Amino acid sequence: MRRQFVNDPGDVVAEALEGFAAAWPGHVRLNADPAYVVRARPASGKVAVVSGGGSGHEPLHVGFVGTGMLDAAVPGAVFTSPTAVQIRAASRAVDTGRGVLHVVKNYTGDVLNFRIAGELLADEGVESGIVLVDDDLATDTDDGPGRRGTAAAVVVEKVCGAAAERGADLAELTALGRRVAAGSRTLSVALAAGAHPGQSRPSFELPGDEVEFGVGIHGERARQRRAFGPSREIVPQMVSPLAEALGLGRGSRVLAVVNGLGATSDLELYGVFREARRVLKDAGVDVVRSLVGTYVTSLDMAGCSLTLVRADDEVLELWDAPVATPALTW
């Protein structure tokens, strides 16, 4: 039996956005209808970086609006793409004349609505470019819509946000974002599904001796179930395919993100990070930067994802650049 702190399920996102904006007045402003979040202090003279997608993944994306990262975030209903009109309105609101970079997780609805928004904006003379984030190795198949986008979005948004702050133009940002996305892969493991606001059953039930291996962030099941076991057995099953997919080897440098899917404690996430580092170290791979915490969720799913991102000097410098948002500040 799952319960949540909600009023009417249909109002969850609007009410949460209202609370979010009230909680972070120094960082963000909310436009309620159409719904989008912009920086409290608008930037000037730079390419605007805008992201968005369904809600239910908080702090992604609204939590990353602020100096050094996003200029605007466009939240849809839970697990539902924002509309093209929302995206257009948010993009218009933050365009300074140098164009808008759309960072989009690779889901049909998101891609479609951001593409349409791009066409609507073009009609109005606002230039935009898209970076598709498609890091989910579990959906790496030859046909179909391609790999899903998950936690690598945080890295792409951070890196592009920093580069935009330094004055990069839209073409440079698009190329940079695509390079980072291309160098990112993620695998996610669920121990228990989350439940939609107002629903009393989780989206799937797992037997006690199995995990969903390669799960997404929308409560859907994975293609595989594997045996549950201690982290020392599960984590290497995540690390090795990622390292292989990215062609990592002795001397490679990576940025690692260990991300909780909603209901996973920091104790567990840090334990997973410790295992991942160990496995990578044994392979000669150097974890030069990391982010461990709850950043891209699937409502209250119990599980975690591991993202590896190929790190070069430019990416590292942009990663290290100052950022001040509700969910990420340094």
Active site members: 57, 218
- How many of the other CB atoms lie within 10 Å of CB of 282? 10
With CB cut-offs between 5 and 8 Å by kind, which of other proteins, its own copies, none does residue 115 bind?
other proteins
Which phi-psi region, left, alpha or beta, contains residue 260 (left: φ > 0; alpha: ψ -120 to 50)? beta
With CB cut-offs between 5 and 8 Å by kind, which of its own copies, other proteins, none does residue 120 bind?
other proteins
Choose between 220 and 268: whose C-beta lies nearer to other proteins.
220
**How far is residue 237's CA from residue 240's CA, in Å, rounded to a whole number?**
6
11 touching other proteins, by CB under 8 A: no
**How far is residue 59's CA from residue 51's CA, in Å, rounded to a whole number?**
13
Which phi-psi region, left, alpha or beta, contains residue 53 (left: φ > 0; alpha: ψ -120 to 50)? left
**H-helix segments, 129-198:** 152-165, 170-182
Q: Are the C-beta atoms of 68 and 107 separated by less than 8 Å?
A: no
For 221, the token pair is 């099941």
Binding site for its own copies (CB under 8 A): 1-8, 12-13, 15-20, 22-23, 55-56, 58-59, 63, 78, 191-192, 194, 197, 200, 206-208, 211, 228, 230-232, 234-235, 258, 262-275, 277, 287, 290-292, 294, 297, 299-300, 302, 304, 324, 329-330
With CB cut-offs between 5 and 8 Å by kind, which of other proteins, its own copies, none does residue 23 bind?
its own copies
Q: How many residues bind other proteins (CB under 8 A)?
A: 18
CB of 115 to other proteins, least distance (A): 6
With CB cut-offs between 5 and 8 Å by kind, which of other proteins, its own copies, none does residue 109 bind?
other proteins
In sequence order, what are the beta bridge partners of 101? 49, 129
Choose between 144 and 230: whose C-beta lies nearer to its own copies.
230
241 touching other proteins, by CB under 8 A: no
User: Binding residue for other proteins (CB under 8 A) from 25, 125, 144, 207?
Assistant: 144
* Amino acid occupying residue 93: A
**How far is residue 102's CA from residue 134's CA, in Å, rounded to a whole number?**
14
Q: Are the C-beta atoms of 102 and 114 separated by less than 8 Å?
A: yes
**How far is residue 52's CA from residue 46's CA, in Å, rounded to a whole number?**
19
User: Binding residue for other proteins (CB under 8 A) from 55, 67, 86, 305?
Assistant: 86
Choose between 46 and 88: whose C-beta lies nearer to other proteins.
88
Residues that bind other proteins (CB under 8 A): 34, 76-77, 80-81, 83-86, 108-109, 112-113, 115-116, 119-120, 144
